[in-house]
Chain A
Amino acid sequence: NFMLTQPHSVSESPGKTVTISCTRSSGSFASNYVQWYQQRPGCAPTTVIYEDNQRPSGVPDRFSGSIDSSSNSASLTISGLKTEDEADYYCQSYDSSNRGVFGGGTKLTVL
């Protein structure tokens, strides 16, 4: 099976833009979509990006997703950072047998 590797932590100031990467160890993101989940302390995860770059209703357009096929990586970009964006973020995708894999998670600090 493949792995999804994320940076352990990132930090940025309010109002700035931050990008969180998610690199796939084998296989291709072209074969399965990437999702991004936000998890605040003590809460269940919620989806901020699905199908690589789609936002569920209610998620602000400050959140965007992209795929870079050349580096086999996905990215979550959050612009106009707010303190409420401080959370853990997880990427997730599937293997060729439709079994799910989560990245290790990235702790976003907005300071």
Chain B
Amino acid sequence: QLQLQESGPGLVKPSETLSLTCTVSGGSISSSSYYWGWIRQPPGKGLEWIGSIYYSGSTYYNPSLKSRVTISVDTSKNQFSLKLSSVTAADTAVYYCARRIYCTNGVCYPGYFDYWGQGTLVTVSS
């Protein structure tokens, strides 16, 4: 059974960089069939798509966050990571990592998130 687990500091100071890692177990991050993504949810609010990465390093980012976001992948550790710079209180949220379908039966397209981590709350505060 595939599992994803977010890890990283739960408290980040304003103007600093938020860094999270998602560890994938029960499957390979190097599979050609999937992208790997980050989604966040501020307390009491809706979901926001942050970005996705392929095992090759190809990325897609939310235009509204693109200037501050970097998503990277480490296939040797079966992990992918999120860095969000210059954070403010508005970046306080539960951050989820998830697997996204990319190719099915030889057909490739932006698909749905089929496995999610449990989420981790990151608070931005001094």
Contacts and interface: CB of A to CB of B under 8 A. Distances in A.
A90 B46 contact: yes
Interface string A6-29: 000000000000000000000000
Nearest to A104: B46
B112 A44 contact: no
Contacts of A90: 46-47
Interface string B77-116: 0000000000000000000100001000000011111101
A101 B118 CA distance: 21
Contacts of A44: 96, 116-119
A99 B48 contact: no
Contacts, number: 66
Contacts of A104: 46
B116 A100 contact: no
Interface string B16-49: 0000000000000000000001010000001111
Contacts of B62: 99-100
Nearest to B35: A98
Interface in B57-89: 60-64
Nearest to A34: B112
Nearest to A101: B49
Contact of A100 (B46, B109, B110, B114): B110
B52 interface: yes
Given A99-B61, A99-B62, A100-B110, A105 B116 contact: no
Given A33-B109, A50-B111, A51-B112, A99 B49 contact: yes
Contacts of B61: 99
A97 B66 CA distance: 14
Contacts of A103: 46
Given A45-B113, A99-B62, 14 more contacts: A1-B64, A37-B47, A44-B117, A45-B116, A47-B112, A50-B101, A51-B112, A56-B114, A98-B110, A99-B51, A99-B63, A102-B39, A102-B46, A103-B46
Interface of A: 1, 32-33, 35, 37, 39, 44-47, 50-51, 56, 88, 90, 92, 94, 97-105
